[in-house]
Amino acid sequence: MVLKIYGYNMSTCTRLVALICKEKEIPYELVTINLAKGEHKNPEYLKTQPFGQVPYIDDDGFILYESRAIARYLIKKYPNQGTTGLVPVDPKKEALFEQAASVEVSHFNSHAGPLMFEKLFKARTGGTTDQVKAAEHLKNLEAKLDVYEIILGKQKYLAGDEVTLADLQHLPFGSMLFLAKHGDVIEKRTNVARWWKDISNRPAWLAVKDGA
């Protein structure tokens, strides 16, 4: 049975899973859960994804949610297919990958996510941007990207000189920064800009960035 992604094409987390499918050359079917219509809060949906969020996958009856967990599962299930090495197996390389993956969650997503919530998602759902909160998230994100600039001045990618899932995890929200006219936070930092140009031009991302 073809892998099913229950998600929404505008959702950043759905895009991460679709991106990994493209990288690993895994055929998939996107089953749309329309967030705008609240389908992710239906009692029937909550039986499978109890947090009422997208995405989850159905891999021949195996159900899994949380986009980063899904990405790791697919990468490990198909080690020799498509792009290899996205989650390294050597213990030290894997530890550096884990460090970089944690950096994305703790230092990037935790600021870029709420910033995009204020600047894009609220506007799309008829809300009003809280400019004070948005400015605070932007300031925090900039401070973290100053550290990225130092790291990426010493190595090509966040976990070393090979691309890993940790880099790719930045693509969905990183692209939204440009949509929200905050792409300068990436472009004005030489090493961050070089890294961003590299990862954002990967064919797999170009295939999903405008819709999963």
Ligand X SMILES: N[C@@H](CCC(=O)N[C@@H](CS)C(=O)NCC(=O)O)C(=O)O
- Residues forming contacts to ligand X in the complex (CB under 6 A) are 11-13, 35, 40, 52-54, 66-68
Q: Please identify, using beta-carbon distances, which residue of 12 and 175 lies nearer to ligand X.
A: 12
Q: Please identify, using beta-carbon distances, which residue of 164 and 169 lies nearer to ligand X.
A: 169
Residue whose CB is nearest to ligand X in the complex, by number: 53
- Least distance in Å: CB of 105 to ligand X? 9
CB 21 within 8 A of CB 74: yes
Query: In b/e form, how buried is each residue of 72-108, taking b as 16+ CB within 10 angstroms?
Result: bbbbeebeeebbeebbbeeeebeebbeebbebbeebb
Handedness of CA 59, 62, 63, 65 (dihedral sign): negative
- Least distance in Å: CB of 35 to ligand X? 6
DSSP code for 85: -
Q: Is 31 helix (H, G, I), strand (E, B) or coil?
A: strand
Q: Please identify, using beta-carbon distances, which residue of 66 and 130 lies nearer to ligand X.
A: 66
- Long-range contacts (CB closer than 8 Å, 24 or more residues apart) made by 63-70: 67/13, 67/14, 67/16, 67/17, 68/16, 68/101, 68/105, 68/165, 68/169, 70/17, 70/20
Q: Please identify, using beta-carbon distances, which residue of 41 and 197 lies nearer to ligand X.
A: 41
Q: Please identify, using beta-carbon distances, which residue of 18 and 204 lies nearer to ligand X.
A: 18
Q: Please identify, using beta-carbon distances, which residue of 20 and 152 lies nearer to ligand X.
A: 20
- Least distance in Å: CB of 80 to ligand X? 26
- Least distance in Å: CB of 18 to ligand X? 12
- Least distance in Å: CB of 71 to ligand X? 9
Nearest in space to 164 (alpha carbons), one of 95, 88, 108: 88
Handedness of CA 159, 161, 165, 171 (dihedral sign): positive
- Least distance in Å: CB of 111 to ligand X? 15
CB 11 within 8 A of CB 55: yes
